[in-house]
Chain A
Amino acid sequence: MAAPAQTPILLLADIDEPGLATREVYERRGGYESLRRALAMTPEQVLAELEASGLRGRGGAGFAMGKKVSFLPKGSIEKYLVCNADESEPGTFKDRELMQKTPHTLIEGIVIASYAAGAARSFIYIRGEYVLQADVLDAALVEARQAGYIGENILGSGHTLSLVVHRGAGAYICGEETGLLDSLEGKRGNPRLKPPFPANQGLYQGPTLINNVETLATAPTIIRMGGAEYAKLGTETSTGTKVVSVSGHVQRPGNYEVELGIPSREIIYGLAGGPREGRAIKCWFPGGSSSPVLTAEDLDIPYDFDSLGKAGSMLGSGAIIVVDDTTPILDVAMKTAKFYRHESCGKCTPCREGTNWTVKMLERIDAGEATPMDLEIMASVQEHIIGNCLCVLGDAMAMPIGSMIAKFREEFEAHIERARMLRGVSDVAGSDFALAAQGALQEHPDGRLAPIGAGEQAPGEHRGEPGTQKGGA
């Protein structure tokens, strides 16, 4: 195993220990000790620890958690804490593992954060598809309430907190914090205009703290270690450890806890085993499908917020999707675009129409009805989406698609040309390029297009089957 042995495991430590989801086992392992310690402190002291930890949000935006808490107005007005458990970013499944296996860590984190924020009501908004995880949380919640960790005057501290596990019903956009709030209020999950920010006017118009599952689940660790100690992990601006979900064309997909700042290569190759024997990485999404793609050349970039940002992408939710060289970039673009079209709430124009238009253009490319000029239009449409939408969903399509066009322009152009050949409308019939394309086509009597240079494809077992899939959704 190439992974560094010194990687501290905080969140996933012995996560498969039988019974960890029960209070009994959790407490035996020291669970809820952090809560006791926090409640013995003042809320300001707890907040100071959270701020000192430098913990950045693990949901996607990477905003400093302590700062977020500090934005809530002080005073006696009713405040809310909402845990964003609507984990829907393609490639992300870390919160699922945490909630399912150690629900009490999340509950403990929620109580600690609510104490720091002065919130008396809290909600876990969990995506409706996570049936098992919601059931586990509900069961753990009953236990926590029976033990007095949730309810009135928690452990005699005077702090009161109610907690409701609220199940969503299938909408990616509800992972966007204001869409989530509308959904939690029983409406369509349309994002709201910001400002006002949830810290001032969130749930039921009240000040609201919204944090991701992993973020809140880290709070007990921070209280246990002390914020300053926690901040020593990771890099200066990306402190701590992070659970990274790795999936796609890797040999060992799954969740890995890493110290932020380790080379990306160590995660993809060292932990997840890299692509199948004999395959190379074509591109990878470092932070879910909303992050601009990187290529094999970028594997040595440290896996942290700032380094990935500097490389033109982002850490996002910490979900690495690896695509190997057997998959046409058009397929990746198509899946990505179709996903965002499907999930666009429809409220703002550039996102609603831009995602729709992008899919139509990609379909046209695939059908051999496009010209290289369409690539320009597609690139310009992405530019017109970025920064002009109500929320980040439009950008979440436009940035990866834009990055694919920028980084794989030649392959797109080749695809356009070959698809036109197939339709018999190419202007360059007879050219070297067209002949090469013709050759590629002959290798696939079923008429599907494979990426140039993909070469022979071994009829391997399905896990490693090169993805030449089309459409489907």
Chain B
Amino acid sequence: MPRPQPNMITFSVDGREVRAPENMMLADAAKLGDVEIPVFCYEPKLGNPVGACRMCLVEVEGIPKLQTGCSTPVKDGMVVYTQTERVKIAQQSVVEFLLINHPLDCPVCDKGGECPLQDITFGWGNGISRFIEPKRHFVKPLELSPLIAIDRERCILCYRCVRFSQEISEDYQLVLLERGAHSYVATFDGHPYVAPFSGNIVELCPVGALTSRPYRFRARPWDIEGAGSVCTLCPAQCNVTLTVRDERALRVLARDHHEVDDGWLCDKGRFGYESFHVEERVTEPLLRDGGQLRPVSWERALGEAAAGLSRAGSRSAALAGGQATNEEALLLARMMREALGSPHVDSRRGGTLPLELHRALGAPALQARTSDLEFAHAVLVIAADPVNDAPILDLRLRKGIRRHGMSLAVAMPGDTSLDAGAAITARFAPGQAGAFAAALAAALRDGDGDGDGDGDGEDELRELVGLAGAEIGVVRELASLLRGPDREDDRDAAREVVILFGERLTSGPDGAAGATALLQIAQRLGLEGIEGAGLLEIPAQSNGRGLREAGFLPNGGAGLSEPPAGEGKDARAIAEALAAGELQALYLLQSEPLQDLPDAQLWERALAGAGTVVAHANFLTDALREHADVVFPAEVYAEKEGTIVHPDGRIQRLRPAIARGSGVGGAGGAPSSASEVRAGWQVICELALRLGLDLDVLGATMASRRLFEAVPFYEGLTLEEVGGRGVRWQERDAAARFPPGASVPEQAPALTAREQQPDPRELAGFRSVWDAPEVLHSPALSFLYPRRELVSG
């Protein structure tokens, strides 16, 4: 469904004339006139209002009964009163009713001080209670899951948490049992509420009934401050507010951004902050000494790293991981290319994709926004499993289906959590995403898709479907779903189709074919230039898009320009060359190839064969412990300053929320004096200087300026413009400077025969975001680590 276009109207609230979009709910519209209508159950994120708590009763002229502000759409000329005696009495009585069974244990309640019930009682309550019967008492708090505690005495039965479970995450695990005054929130037969997004209910709870177990009793609201940043633990890049006390992150809350996360967080993003402060974190430079990594001074570590890289010279290579910023990638790529003369840098995991295909896939006119997933007529998810690749998009797709009638199609080798809501689920053989895309492209060329077969087209389609291991009927059905029912009759109707694809599709031997097929599909559906339609990639790494645009590709420089030092080797070729002794040094910028890249055995040999391995890392793994020669402590995202790029092109800003390496291992939360974590850009600049290259960066903002200068389609951008909400570069004038990509061929791309495909198990190198060190090392989340397969469904 296309987005509704709001029609502005004027209504009156408490005598003020207010302009608001027509049909906006009164509770929201009143805010535009600085009038607050108190609410408990109302939360627009949860969908249609339910009108359960009755807190928002107001008077609307012409309607005899009081109306709930949460569910009354505002109309032109409506006259609303929120301060009359009638309203006051009704609101006071609701507060009184709610407090009947609410224990007044605010002094020991985590919510105290930031509690809507407290605030509303203060603002709209009567101040006295006439209820003298004993309040109910129950055992509390109780575990609801390893992450969440439940205090049933405090619950005011607003239904928010169960609505979340049933209508947002659709896991249907958290429900109300019994009825009337006996109702209570529970799970089935004492099972824990464990689901990828369970933590959101803590933030939704308007009282202290649901609390975060890791946060319980860690701070009071007056002890803490909030710091906005962006979570880089997966490509979804949700906007977050970190709760900080004494330079320590104690909590992560959603910082609602409709164009990014729609106000939700996954449990990894919400609880993964614990890994910032664990003892396992690397907080000082380490140097291999007598076979062991030992702490050394920065001087020594930088010197040794420079020496090793310098020895290898152009026979060095570098890999960047998803948590690296654009600035770090830009600076490191320059160091490799300009100081060492090495073109061997890579940030992709699946091999080189021709630069012109990168450009074609990234063409601004072909890019969908995140919110388009919700408003599109149809979305095809291909070679991606959102809950494991970018969890928050899973919720967005569910929302599109549930609330906007979006039709979803899922094309994956195996089952996904979205299948139940999908109009079409297509399956293809593991590793055959490219062939499947080519088959779909062929089906779309097959004219009307009626399956009558157009000679050669029919043969080609059959061949491709066979290669993909798919079903021809399903492919045709999918083609007609995407094309839309009325395409023939109504060619002007712009059908909004979004194709959400995983980096798997453009990886491996058929990567280029997959990319080409994708472009053909987009062209045959006429997606280019249609507002609300387009392509959206989920990169394999959090900042995958930013790293590419900053030039961290073997075949592309900053801004997807021709590589300044000529084309280099991709990750796999780097590994082979290291193993064969052709390359000698490797720089790992927050990258752990055995974990992040396919073919761990090859990488084991590669690291063993490398003369020098310099790792910029948060955690030591077995491979780093064994093979790294120098380890620089890396910042976590809450410490970083710089920019990253969201999969839909939104440049987002990381702002330091806590001091680098603070509180690590220390129980008291005081900054550890031992912390020697330095900013990533700074380390790279110092290293470059030792290698004879002055990168001319004296601070983080300067690094960003260098980035904006280096990438033509970021031209003129400033950090101020990026601000707290980010900016999609496609929506700026400089987007015109994006380099043109490959033209789309008419014929099907050449595909590798099935026998020649690598073992599909190799593709298992695409890891679920739940299979990550932040999950393993966060005490609260670590229970999920053995279940990471379970989470990945």
Contact = CB atoms under 8 A, between A and B. Distances in A.
Nearest to A345: B179
Contact of B100 (A341, A347, A356, A387): A356
B116 to A, nearest CB: 14
Given A193-B68, A353-B98, A384-B89, A346 B54 contact: no
Interface in A415-452: none
Contacts of B97: 349-350, 352-354, 357, 384
Nearest to B184: A346
Given A193-B50, A377-B130, A346 B180 contact: yes
B674 interface: no
Given A349-B98, A352-B157, A341 B68 contact: no
B53 A341 contact: no
A188 interface: yes
A343 B180 CA distance: 7
Contacts of B101: 353
B133 interface: yes
Contact of A349 (B54, B89, B130, B176): B54
B204 interface: no
A388 B94 CA distance: 9
Given A349-B97, A352-B157, A357-B97, A341 B52 contact: no
A384 B182 CA distance: 21
A364 B132 CA distance: 10
B159 A347 contact: yes
Given A349-B94, A350-B94, A350-B97, A390 B54 contact: yes
B179 A188 contact: yes
B100 A353 contact: yes
A193 B49 contact: yes
Contacts of B68: 193
A366 B685 CA distance: 83
B490 to A, nearest CB: 20
B752 interface: no
A326 interface: no
Interface string B156-174: 1101000000000000000
Given A356-B100, A360-B133, A377-B130, A388 B66 contact: yes
A350 B54 contact: yes
Nearest to B48: A193
A396 B66 CA distance: 18
B51 A193 contact: yes
B718 interface: no
Nearest to A195: B71
B176 A346 contact: yes
Interface in B45-84: 49-55, 57, 65-66, 68, 71
A352 B54 contact: no
A348 B179 contact: no
B183 interface: yes
B122 interface: no
B654 interface: no
Nearest to A351: B180
From B90, B97, B159, B178, name the one whose CB has the most chain A CB atoms within 10 angstroms: B97
A218 interface: no
A384 B86 CA distance: 10
B52 A348 contact: yes
A344 interface: yes
B181 A388 contact: no
A352 B53 CA distance: 10
B188 interface: no
A364 B181 CA distance: 18
A347 B179 CA distance: 9
B53 A348 contact: yes
A342 interface: yes
B71 A346 contact: no
B783 interface: no
A347 B52 contact: yes
A345 B180 contact: yes
A473 to B, nearest CB: 13
A116 B362 CA distance: 57
Chain A contact residues, majority secondary structure = helix
A264 interface: no
For B65, B68, B98, B181, the residue with the greatest tally of chain A CB atoms inside 10 Å of its CB is B181
Interface string A320-348: 00000000000000000000011111111
| Size bracket of the B interface | 20 to 34
A437 B89 CA distance: 37
Nearest to B95: A349
Contacts of B131: 357
B93 interface: yes
A360 B135 CA distance: 11
Contacts of B96: 384
B69 to A, nearest CB: 12
B51 A390 contact: yes
A344 B90 CA distance: 20
Interface string A353-373: 111110011001000000000
Task: From B49, B53, B54, name the one whose CB has the most chain A CB atoms within 10 angstroms.
Answer: B54
B537 to A, nearest CB: 35
A360 B97 CA distance: 13
Given A193-B50, A193-B68, A344 B93 contact: no
Contacts of A171: 179
Contacts of B71: 193
Contacts of B159: 347
A389 interface: yes
B180 A348 contact: no
Interface string A449-469: 000000000000000000000
Nearest to A193: B51
Contacts of B130: 377
A334 to B, nearest CB: 15
Given A193-B71, A353-B101, A346 B51 contact: no
B179 A344 contact: yes
Nearest to B90: A388
A387 B51 contact: no
Contacts of A381: 93
A466 B52 CA distance: 41
Given A347-B159, A350-B97, A356 B181 contact: yes
A77 to B, nearest CB: 15
Contacts of A349: 52-55, 94, 97-98, 156-157
Contacts of A347: 50, 52, 157, 159
B54 A348 contact: yes
A364 B130 CA distance: 14
Contacts of A377: 130
A353 B97 CA distance: 6
Contacts of A360: 133
Contacts of B49: 193
Interface string B86-109: 000110011011101100000000
Nearest to A390: B51
Contacts of A357: 97, 100, 131, 133
User: Most chain-B CB neighbours within 10 Å: which of A171, A188, A350?
Assistant: A350
A171 B178 CA distance: 12
A264 B421 CA distance: 57
A193 B50 CA distance: 6
Nearest to A393: B180
Given A346-B176, A352-B157, A388-B90, 13 more contacts: A188-B176, A188-B179, A193-B49, A193-B50, A193-B51, A347-B50, A349-B54, A350-B93, A356-B181, A357-B97, A364-B133, A377-B130, A387-B65
The 3 A-B pairs with the shortest beta carbon distances in the complex, nearest first, are A384-B93, A353-B97, A346-B183
Interface of B: 49-55, 57, 65-66, 68, 71, 89-90, 93-94, 96-98, 100-101, 130-131, 133, 156-157, 159, 176, 178-183
25 contacts: A193-B50, A193-B68, A342-B180, A344-B179, A346-B157, A346-B176, A346-B178, A346-B180, A346-B182, A346-B183, A348-B52, A348-B53, A349-B55, A349-B98, A349-B157, A353-B101, A354-B97, A355-B180, A355-B181, A360-B133, A381-B93, A384-B90, A384-B96, A387-B65, A389-B54
